[in-house]
Structure 1
């Protein structure tokens, strides 16, 4: 069987799922720890393109004002954004002396003097200019510049519209950041778990179908992750192997039946010819009786084989009240013809997933057996309990010894007292019934009846 190959693959898949889960949690924690470092309000290095643009503007300003010796005139033009490379409304220039004193203070409402002083105080190395966000203004610098023959430092202020305000709030509140990361990662994890669980659910449904006796390969099982594709392929191979084994068994029994019935037919023909030539005799009658019994036994063996192989028949959902109506009506008529009484309580409401012909035949076998061995009375009661229907068939016959109750469902088993070859059949009826009921995920057991005879209890699961 291919079944042992399935479990290691599924175990490997669940190991991968746990690995993905913990890796995702690691990414969540890593994001919480690293995202604050991307906060633009923290001092950081200037990107190369921006730095090159700042150097270009510094050189243009220095060259443009190189012929003006009055530094106050230069400062006034810079404050009014009158210089080459200016971006009105987007960029501002600020000048400090070598001691860090402001010579062009901010005059825009969105740029506070305190913020600029704070940035100038922490940026004391012109060889390593940096940038930092204050509100909606991104400050960068310093760069050395020469104006009117004196050395100064130049700072750049650019209006900054990103990141959005809610991102800054996340940077300020770690718990909000954690919540945001979880809101983003949770749908991903849910989708991942759903995607990984679909092949498992298909495999589970396929296993349930096999448990119900439906041995059909399912191509859908060979989809999904590599582990489940391999598991599904192994499962389908197992189902096909079971089907092949059952087919070979059926073919073997059919061949055996044919081989047995051929000489049996010739035997009965020879017995008929001898009867015609010699007339009736006890020996010929005995031969005919045994030939009939042998033919009946072969028929029962084939019936038992069919009930074992009929699990592939399509099942239907049937209401209990309709499933057994015809069978109970025929059994009541048969009991009346034998001078006996068959009483049946009202069938409870409920449905059962079954192979109707196979299941009804099994229950009918038990009922007819009870009628045959009863003295006068046969009672059939049905009830529903815990999602199962419980059928009890009891008679007032001689019953079965306590020590033999567990054996009466064995093929060819015959009770040593009342049910001998003169009063019974082949000993296969209850074995056939047990096999059919087990194929419906049910159970059957025998016990002593309150009427004094035998009680057979059948338990079958109701359909959901």
Structure 2
């Protein structure tokens, strides 16, 4: 039989199961010998105690030859509750029987007299081996041979006590308490098992969420834990490496193509300039030069987007928010004034953020310049911060974007159907670059209609808790 290894998930469950079964087996086998309600041999201390009682009785009635008188005195003495050493814990009740087990005298209460004694006598196999057994709060001991009035008798002594029965006896008598103790013992094992299962699963879920956000990072901590989760972690990391390789290959191909396109574009623009010099200006040549410029701009932005997506593992640094966007806002304010537009902005929070400064500045600059270009005459930039994140809201009073196209404007090369885009001359990559930069910083960007009437872009970024 091949037993599962303990470093595997099934191995741990197997080990916990058999460990629990072993504990139960030990308890079941130990109960008969530990349960004081079962008859067992009299220990040395109790035997000495019983022998002391016997010797005191023989010494007290040494000169009495009438057994009836002795039995009467013992019955009368029961009400005085004799003690061995004046200790309340040593009070006892005496019981005498003949050698055949017939009860001659009793002392104590009716409970012991009517049931406990007869039950105890019936279970005695040999008078040569004194035993003891617990009946409620009474510990019955005996028999011990005793000589009274020249007769051989058997002495039984019940030692009542104020102490409650042993703890495990009370558990056996109370199923609810027993169940609670079993739960108390098994709970740490179950919690440990749940932790062993949940920790690797939680790490795998977090890694999946990072991949869903576009962070294709290998996490070697996934390759820890039980054998099943280690194998799943290795497979997950191999998948991330494969996907990362595919994306990197595509981005490199796109970058190489873009570089290669720049050379014929440069030659085309040079040829257009030579033709204009020789033949003079014409609408056709101007159109060719304009389209060449737009194509060159598109290739440049495409290269920037490709570099951003390719360098998803960029080195981050902690920067104050003001150092990122204060100069940018001043330049945007001047640019808006030149276009006879009013740009207002709230104070930049005195907080810090961890990330790539160039990407963060480019992301905010793109949405502010879009607002300046498409707003009629008002642009508002609002900064809000919480202990965990920063919110930047950029809105204008332009014509805006149709509601059914708000989610599509972050797609590369997407051109909206309104006048906001038809007269822009843009490439459709600005917001795609912004969305990529925000996503790489574990942030979120959203477009909606502004109360001012135009477009409102809301982006959120996690803030650094380091000072």
1:195 and 1:427, CA in 2 relative to 1: closer, same or farther beyond 3 A? closer
- The residue correspondences of 1:2-151 to structure 2 (distance < 5 A) are 36-43=31-38, 99=100, 121-123=121-123, 125=125
Whether the aligned pair in 1 keeps the contact of 2:265 and 2:292 (CA below 8 Å) is yes
Q: Is the 8 A contact 1:320 1:350 kept in 2?
A: yes
- The structure-2 alpha-carbon separation of the partners of 1:386 and 1:118, relative to structure 1 and needing over 3 Å to count, comes to same
Residues 1:186 and 1:253: Cα distance change in structure 2 (over 3 Å): same
Q: CA RMSD in A?
A: 5.4
Gaps of 5+ in 1: 1-11, 51-95, 103-115, 143-151, 154-163
Q: Is the 8 A contact 2:367 2:457 kept in 1?
A: no
Q: In the alignment, what sits opposite 1:4?
A: none
- Output the CA distance in 1 between the equivalents of 2:307 and 2:438: 14
- Structure 2-normalised TM-score? 0.62
Instruction: Indicate conservation of the 8 Å contact 1:123/1:130, yes or no.
Output: no
Q: 1:339, CA displacement in angstroms?
A: 3.9
For residues 183-220 of structure 1, the C-alpha deviation after alignment (integer angstroms, 9 at most, x for no partner) is 43333333333333332333244334434543221222
5 Å-filtered alignment, 1:175-214, equals 177-214=178-215
Q: Tell me, in whole angstroms, the C-alpha distance in 1 between the residues paired with 2:120 and 2:420.
A: 112
CA shift digits 1:352-391 (9 cap, x unpaired): 6654432331221011112123343321123458976543
Query: Which of 427, 445, 448 is the matching residue for 1:443?
Result: 445
What pairs up with 1:287-306 in 2 under 5 angstroms?
287-306=288-307
Secondary structure of the equivalent of 1:394? strand
Q: How does 1:415-426 map to 2 (within 5 A)?
A: 415=416, 418-419=419-420, 423-426=424-427
**Which whole-Å deviations, capped at 9, do the CAs of 1:77-109 have from their partners, x for residues lacking one?**
xxxxxxxxxxxxxxxxxxx9973599xxxxxxx
Partner of 1:379: 380
Instruction: Find the counterpart in structure 1 of residue 341 from structure 2.
Output: 340
Q: How far apart, in 1, do the equivalents of 2:122 and 2:208 lie?
A: 70
Native 8 Å contact 1:434 1:444 kept in 2: no
Q: C-alpha separation between the residues in 1 aligned to 2:353 and 2:195?
A: 31
Instruction: Tell me the secondary structure at the aligned position of residue 428 of structure 2.
Output: coil
The 1:174–1:369 alpha-carbon spacing in structure 2 relative to 1, beyond 3 Å, is: closer
| 1:213–1:312 contact (8 Å) kept in structure 2 | no
- Residues 140, 273 of structure 1: CA spacing in aligned structure 2 closer, same or farther, 3 A cutoff? farther
Distance 1:373 1:137 in 2: 98
Report if the CA contact (8 A) 1:100-1:121 is conserved. Answer: yes
Distance change >3 Å, CA 218–CA 385, structure 1 → 2: closer
Distance 1:173 1:402 in 2: 68
* Farther off after superposition, 116-125 or 188-197: 116-125
Is the contact made by 1:320 and 1:352 (CA closer than 8 Å) also made in structure 2? yes
3-state SS in 2 of match to 1:185: helix
3-state secondary structure, aligned to 2:312: helix
Mapped to 2, the partners of 1:201 and 1:428 lie a distance apart of: 36
Residue 411 of structure 1 is matched in structure 2 by 412
Change (3 A) 1:29 1:372: same
* Residues 359-398 of structure 1 aligned to structure 2 (within 5 Å): 359-383=360-384, 389-398=390-399
Q: Compute the TM-score of the two structures, normalised by the length of structure 1.
A: 0.63
Aligned counterparts, 1:145-184, within 5 A: 177-184=178-185
Shift of the alpha carbon at 1:175? 5.6
Quick one: structure 1 residues 132 and 252, their matched pair in 2 at CA, closer, same or farther if it must change by over 3 Å? farther
Does the CA contact (< 8 Å) of 1:45 and 1:131 recur in 2?
Answer: yes
Moved more, 360-369 or 180-189: 180-189
| Secondary structure in structure 2 of the residue aligned to 1:311 | coil
Equivalences for residues 240-259 of structure 1 within 5 A: 240-259=241-260
Q: Secondary structure at the match of 1:393?
A: strand
Deviation string 1:129-163 (CA, Å, 9 cap, x unpaired) is: 99656799998999xxxxxxxxx99xxxxxxxxxx
Q: Which residue of 2 aligns with 1:327?
A: 328
Q: How many pairs are equivalent?
A: 385
CA–CA separation in structure 2 for the residues paired with 1:366 and 1:190: 50
C-alpha distance in structure 2 between counterparts of 1:391 and 1:434, whole Å = 13
Does the CA-based 8 Å contact 1:390-1:457 persist in structure 2? no
- Structure with the larger RCO, 1 or 2 (CA within 8 Å, 6+ apart): 1
Q: State the 1:344 CA deviation.
A: 0.2
The 2-side partners of 1:211 and 1:316 are apart by: 24
Do the aligned partners of 1:392 and 1:458 also contact (CA within 8 Å) in 2?
yes
Kept in 1, the 8 Å contact 2:389–2:461? The answer is yes
CA-to-aligned-CA distance 1:372-428 (integer Å, 9 cap, x gap):
233433211234589765433223445456666555444334455645676422222
Q: Secondary structure at the match of 1:378?
A: strand
5 Å-filtered alignment, 1:222-233, equals 222-233=223-234
Post-superposition offset of 1:280: 4.0
